[in-house]
Amino acid sequence: MFQLVKVSKENQGKIFRALVTILVVLMYIWWITVSLQTQLNSYIITNNTELVYKDDTKVKVDHINEDNTLYLDDTTKVEGDQVDEYIMTVRGTGTYYIPDNKMSRELSWEESIDVGEAWIVLTISVYIIGILLTINCKGSKWRSIGVVVLEFFVSILTIVVGEYYVSNILQKNIPIQEIVLVVYILLALTSVLLRVFRAKIWRS
């Protein structure tokens, strides 16, 4: 029979901290990956919009029948099965038929949200993790500095992706930079104050 290996409480604590560290690292890697993907998708859609806007051959679609037949502003009729490529553009751009069997279609509000939905959820989760790391950061000062530097990197990437996505895809005027900077400053000050507070307790 197999004999169970007994692990001391000290080693149990080390194993638990190691598992938590691995999960946190994987979470941050996932967030970075999704951030880059959101930025890339936002750039592609914005670039598509600019290309469609500059295309002089485009013809505005007046309406689309239930059988997907396109009726253009110049009274031309295009069968739906003739469209080989759909080009996604930002909201408010309009729907156009482009020669060579292409059609531009603007994103709906729900589709605009979908572009960055995963990024929004993961960003909130990453900041919650940052708050927990700040509150529970104990030990050497380098560990506290590491958390502050990590949150600085998170803040910079959040500003870059957030401002581009919000302004170009959602087309909303939200002060992403100011919000992120306030959160980062609060986390940094919290880290410093907690360290000073703990140092006073240890000395007493």
pLDDT at 174: 85
> For tokens 């029979």, what's the residue?
1
Q: What is the dihedral of CA 76, 82, 86, 90, to 10 degrees?
A: 10
> In the structure encoding, which two tokens stand for residue 145, read together?
């500095």
Distance, CA of 112 to CA of 169 (rounded, Å): 6
pLDDT tens, residue by residue, 66-96: 777 888 887 788 887 788 888 999 998 888 9
Mark out the alpha helices in 61-175 (DSSP H runs): 109-136, 141-164
The two structure tokens encoding residue 66: 């239930």
pLDDT in tens, 101-143: 888 989 999 999 999 999 999 999 998 888 887 777 666 667 7
The DSSP secondary-structure symbol of 82 reads G
| 200 pLDDT more than 60 | no
- Please give the residue that has the higher pLDDT: either 10 or 182: 182
174 is written with which tokens?
């939200």
Give dist(CA 26, CA 96) in Å, integer.
43
**Beta bridge partner(s), residue 85:** 102
Radius of gyration of the chain (CA): 26
**SS3 at position 108:** coil
Q: Is residue 176 a contact partner of residue 156, using CB atoms and an 8 Å limit?
A: no
* pLDDT reported for residue 42: 96
DSSP 3-state assignment of 90? coil
pTM: 0.81
What are the residue boundaries of the structural domains of the chain, listed by start? 11-45+110-203, 55-108
